[in-house]
Amino acid sequence: MALVKLGDFYPDYREEHSDIDDIKNFDVYAQGDNKVGSVYDILVDEQTGKFRYFIVDTGFWVFGKKVLLPVGLGNIDYGARRIFVNGLSKEQVESLPNYDTLEKVDFDYEEQVRGAYRPIAATSAATATTATAATSDLTQPTYDRNTYNYDHEPSLYNLNDSNDSEGQTLKLYEERLIADKQRRKTGEVTIGKHVETETARVAVPVEKERVVIERTTPTNATAVNPGEANFREGEVARVELYEETPDIRKEAVVREEVRVKKVVEHETAEATETIRREELDVDAQGRPIVDKQG
């Protein structure tokens, strides 16, 4: 059962399955919340395409060492970007064979790795089952290189974040445009009034009365005797004179009315954006497959 690195089996996994690429950066934690290291790469079964091991770079925990972790023992927390391994201790990590190249990963090498992890898997099985079932699980069978199959040890090789009946899960994502709108203030109009002054001129016709004295010499005057002449000293004639004076005043009148209101104009805003979608690439290597869509 040959193993290959993830990038060799899925050359385009970074573009099509970003969630898998993220796992390669997850931190690995053991019991007591001790950080073991981080996921360096993933080994895939060349025949089935299933994940078998996380390659863990132990960093400073066990300085300068890379080890294999069966995927079934890791509890993946995507939110925390962590992989938890219950029951794993520093001594067990130190006892694991160092991972250098794929050429060294044969049946004997994997048996060394499985031998270090089987007590953890057995303890987990004992916790999850009844006492009777736990006793039988703790009795490890003997495996042969010619008959061994990864399905014999699901506690080591079944991913904890996928359903056993459905196999391993790849999340396919696509982008979509969300049309929404926000109300924002674009400006403000202030309307007020001020007073302007100017000089106005008006013309009002007025009348004034004056006295005009006309004197005439009669041409046909008849002479009278001095005794008949009626001389009256002190006789006075009175004439009343009137004139008009302008009466100019100011009054305020409404010149015009100004009403202020708002109207709503409707228009359609369009936007163009490039969106991406992940599609599944299946390399069946000539074998028939059934594609079921939900």
Q: Is the pLDDT of residue 32 over 80?
A: no
The gap between the terminal CA atoms of the chain, to the nearest Å, is 32
pLDDT digit string (tens) for 109-126?
999 999 888 888 887 766
Mean pLDDT of the chain: 80
The predicted-structure confidence for 127-166, as pLDDT tens digits, reads as follows 655 444 444 444 566 777 888 888 889 889 887 654 344 4
Check: CB of residue 80 under 8 Å from CB of residue 88.
no
What's the pLDDT band for 200 if we cut at 50, 70, 90? confident
Predicted TM-score (pTM) of the model is 0.50
What's the confidence (pLDDT) of residue 289? Answer: 67
pLDDT at 234: 77
Confidence (pLDDT) at 207: 92
User: E strand or H helix at 111, and its extent?
Assistant: helix 107-128
At 10 the pLDDT is 76
Q: Which long-range contacts (CB under 8 A, 24 or more apart) does 17-20 make?
A: 17/170, 17/171, 17/172, 17/278, 18/173, 19/78, 19/170, 19/171, 19/173, 20/170
Angle between helices 107-128 and 131-138 (to 10 degrees): 170
Per-residue pLDDT at 290:
67
- Do 35 and 27 meet the contact criterion of CB atoms below 8 Å apart? yes
Q: What percent of the chain has pLDDT over 70?
A: 81
CB atoms under 10 Å from CB of 135, counted, come to: 11
Q: Give Cα separations from 96 to 14, 110, 198, 280 (angstroms).
A: 30, 10, 102, 36
The pLDDT tens digits for 85-105 are: 888 888 888 888 899 888 888
Cβ neighbours of residue 53 under 8 Å, at least 6 residues apart? 3, 42, 43, 68, 69, 70, 71, 113
Summarize pLDDT for 246-273 with one digit per residue, the tens: 888 888 998 899 888 889 888 888 888 8
pLDDT at residue 171 is higher than 50:
yes
Mean predicted confidence (pLDDT) in 1-22: 71
